[in-house]
């Protein structure tokens, strides 16, 4: 495969006398010198792909294979016989042996996020999707505002930028701790404020809907900064002379924003949203360190609970893990489709 590709001009063809290429006495290095460019490239990629194979490809395949077998709650072997897609059918119909269901459609007749204790917020798929959609929308709007501020020239901009990036750099556990304390009725004033507004019940961290809101706020606080950074890169690549032209043509600031800034920033904005959606779909640590997985079950929560819940439902855990990957893959494809369309329309 590698031998017939073009050679680097420096190493030359294979017809050179061998001794002229022996730069060192080390046979390994000499062999490396004699490789074609493509072979050398593959050699350099081996460590990266070996690591990815061990940590990502192999586990992914194993997870899939595990998910096709039955749960074995007794006996030495944790996995039973081959059952095909039965585990997937179980988790999709709400019959899996999980503390919180992946999805349980028959119950979901009421509107989400409005009434207290709606079962919808105890179904992992809807919790995760709702979390991803709402948090990404808010983060995009707030991140855009922050990026717009950072795009201006003003004194102390360096320090304002540090302040705005800082939440992004906070460890997830500390982010969780801050908002746990803020909304812990004994310590924080967050609950008082929300109760005064009439939004929260008595113990928000134990209530699915209230805890969902807390986790949203915490995530928006941290991740708007990430969005702001990516959008800022888009804003700074906009050619300033376009604004001058628009100003001469009499465009109002709103028109300048709508006709110049937004279209030109759109690709960066979409990439940022894609990244954030992926991340939001994986939410786990924030939930674990604030309200706990029983109150707000996310998809990743289900996997961890099934693994360590002591009920030995490893095959179901694997099915949920793989289904999570599938859901995320589905969302990527929707985005990529949308992304391609938008870019094609813009340029």
Partner 1 sequence: MSDDHETTESTESDGNSDDPLAERWRQARRITDGGQPAERGRERDQDAPHAFLLEDEDDAELDRGPFQQWVATSISNPKRAYRAMFYTATIFFLLTTLFPFYWLLMVALTPEGQQQDIILTPNGFNPGAFIEVFQTLPFHWYMFNSFVIATASTVVVLVVASLAGYAFGRLEFPGKTPLMLLVLIISFFPPAAFFIPLNDLFNTQFFALEPITGDGTLYNTPGAMVLPLSAIFMPLAIFILTTFYAQIPDGLEDAARVEGTTRLGALFRVIIPLSAPGVATAGVLTFIAVYNEFFFSFLMTDGQPENWAPILEGILGYQGQYEVMYHLMAASSIIGVIPVAILVIVAQEKIVSGLTAGALKE
Query: Which residues 271-300 are close enough to bind partner 1 by CB under 8 A?
Result: 271-272, 275, 278, 281-282, 284-286, 288-289, 299-300
Q: Is 158 in the site for partner 1 (CB under 8 A)?
A: yes
Interaction with partner 1 in 12-51: which residues (CB under 8 A)?
23-24, 29, 32-33, 37-38, 40-42, 44-45, 47-49, 51
Question: How far is Cα 283 from Cα 176, in angstroms, rounded to an integer?
Answer: 12
Q: Is 346 in the site for partner 1 (CB under 8 A)?
A: no
Interaction with partner 1 in 234-253: which residues (CB under 8 A)?
234, 253
Question: Contact 296/211 with Cβ under 8 angstroms?
Answer: yes
Interaction with partner 1 in 104-123: which residues (CB under 8 A)?
none
Interaction with partner 1 in 195-224: which residues (CB under 8 A)?
221
49's tokens: 């792909």
Q: Which long-range contacts (CB under 8 A, 24 or more apart) does 45-49 make?
A: none
User: Which residue's CB is nearer to partner 1, number 201 or number 285?
Assistant: 285
Q: Is 329 in the site for partner 1 (CB under 8 A)?
A: yes
Binding string, residues 171-200; x marks residues near partner 1 by CB under 8 A: xxxx--xxxxxx-x-xx-x-----------
Q: What does the DSSP assignment read for 209-274?
A: HHHHHHHHHHHHHHHHHHHHHHHHHHHHTS-HHHHHHHHHTT--HHHHIIIIIHHHHHHHHHHHHH
Query: Which residues lie closer than 8 Å to 48 by C-beta, 6 or more apart?
Result: none
Helix (H, G, I), strand (E, B) or coil at 138: helix
In whole angstroms, the minimum distance from the beta carbon of 47 to partner 1 comes to: 5
Q: Is 266 in the site for partner 1 (CB under 8 A)?
A: no
Q: Is 303 in the site for partner 1 (CB under 8 A)?
A: yes
Q: Is 257 in the site for partner 1 (CB under 8 A)?
A: no
Q: What does the DSSP assignment read for 64-81?
A: HHHHTEEE--SSS-SEEE
Question: Contact 218/176 with Cβ under 8 angstroms?
Answer: yes
Q: Is 138 in the site for partner 1 (CB under 8 A)?
A: no
Size of site (CB under 8 A) for partner 1: 101
Task: With contacts defined by CB under 8 A, name the span among 69-77, 98-106, 157-165, 200-208 that binds partner 1.
Answer: 157-165
User: Which residue's CB is nearer to partner 1, number 117 or number 329?
Assistant: 329
Closest by Cα among 327, 307, 331 to 317: 307
Selected binder of partner 1 within 3, 141, 163, 202 (CB under 8 A): 163
User: Which residue's CB is nearer to partner 1, number 90 or number 118?
Assistant: 90
Helix (H, G, I), strand (E, B) or coil at 93: helix
In whole angstroms, the minimum distance from the beta carbon of 109 to partner 1 comes to: 29
Question: How far is Cα 324 from Cα 331, in angstroms, rounded to an integer?
Answer: 11
């Amino acid at each position: 495969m590698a031998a017939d590709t073009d050679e680097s001009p420096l190493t030359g063809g294979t017809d050179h006398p061998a001794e002229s290429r022996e730069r060192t006495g080390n046979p390994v290095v000499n062999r490396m010198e004699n490789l074609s460019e493509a072979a050398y490239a593959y050699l350099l990629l081996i460590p990266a792909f070996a690591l990815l194979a061990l940590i990502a490809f192999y586990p992914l395949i194993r997870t899939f294979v595990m998910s096709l077998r039955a749960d074995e709650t007794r006996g030495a072997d944790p996995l039973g016989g081959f059952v095909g897609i039965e585990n997937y059918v179980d988790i999709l119909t709400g019959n899996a042996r999980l503390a919180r269901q992946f999805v349980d459609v028959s119950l979901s007749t009421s509107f989400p996020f409005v009434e207290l204790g709606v079962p919808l917020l105890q179904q992992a798929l809807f919790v995760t999707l709702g979390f991803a959609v709402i948090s990404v929308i808010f983060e995009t709007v707030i991140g855009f505002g922050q990026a717009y501020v950072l795009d201006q020239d003003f004194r102390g901009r360096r320090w304002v930028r540090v302040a705005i990036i800082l939440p992004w750099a906070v460890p997830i556990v500390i982010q969780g701790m801050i908002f746990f304390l803020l909304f812990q009725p004994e310590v924080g004033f967050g609950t008082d404020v929300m109760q005064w507004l009439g939004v929260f019940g008595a113990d928000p961290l134990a209530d699915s809907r209230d805890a969902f809101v807390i986790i949203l706020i915490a995530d928006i606080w941290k991740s708007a900064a990430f969005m702001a950074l990516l959008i800022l890169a888009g804003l700074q690549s906009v050619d300033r002379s376009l604004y001058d032209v628009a100003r001469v043509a009499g465009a109002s600031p709103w028109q300048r924003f709508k006709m110049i800034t937004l279209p030109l920033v759109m690709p960066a904005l979409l990439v940022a949203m894609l990244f954030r959606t992926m991340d939001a779909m994986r939410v786990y640590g924030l939930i674990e360190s604030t309200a706990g997985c029983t109150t707000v079950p996310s998809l990743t929560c289900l996997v961890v609970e099934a693994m360590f819940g002591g009920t030995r439902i490893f095959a179901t855990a694997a099915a949920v893990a793989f289904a999570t990957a599938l859901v995320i893959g589905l969302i990527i494809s929707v985005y990529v489709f949308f992304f391609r369309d938008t870019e094609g329309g813009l340029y």
